[in-house]
Chains A and B, each alone.
Chain A
Amino acid sequence: AQKVTQAQTEISVVEKEDVTLDCVYETRDTTYYLFWYKQPPSGELVFLIRRNSFDEQNEISGRYSWNFQKSTSSFNFTITASQVVDSAVYFCALLPGEYGNKLVFGAGTILRVKS
């Protein structure tokens, strides 16, 4: 079964705090892709990152960083020095590795950054 679990329903932090959003996935496929999307209050989903299952290197993009660990089936997302504009719903998603498969979304984590 393909599944994505985002156990944190809602997180509230104060501006400039670091925050980590957890994502745990389940799949039997050896090839798969993991994504993070941001959904601000305006509604559109913004693509943040894609990672394939063979690339376990951590990635940093500005204040964003991702930690991919196959051993624990986790793909966690950290925002450093959070800002109010980071307030949004964040979705982790899994694309199993065969053509025709579809993106499986987690339930999402609501992040509230207070000034």
Chain B
Amino acid sequence: QSALTQPRSVSGSPGQSVTISCTGTSSDVGNSNFVSWYQHLPGKAPKLIIYDVTTRPSGVPDRFSGSKSGNTASLTISGLQDEDEADYYCCSYAGSYTWVFGGGTKVTVL
């Protein structure tokens, strides 16, 4: 299983929108409705922010949204805030009860 491909970094000013892509293959992202996204601050436990491609867990602000087209999933942060500065990871079910993560994207709030 190869890691899913994410941009190393994205940036935006407060209030702007940023989108993080997560590209896999027809064996994982393209064939799965079980794509999830995680926010990771240094020294803290990763936090689930999107599951089942588009669903936000309770308590996650609605400025976080997920989507998928073909082999690429995306996370959009609308109305970027300072506290959104973190690393973000995608994850997809890869079949046969295995999972694969993306390489991570650092979001910088300018």
Q: Do A and B come from one complex?
A: no
Binding site for B on A (CB under 8 A): none
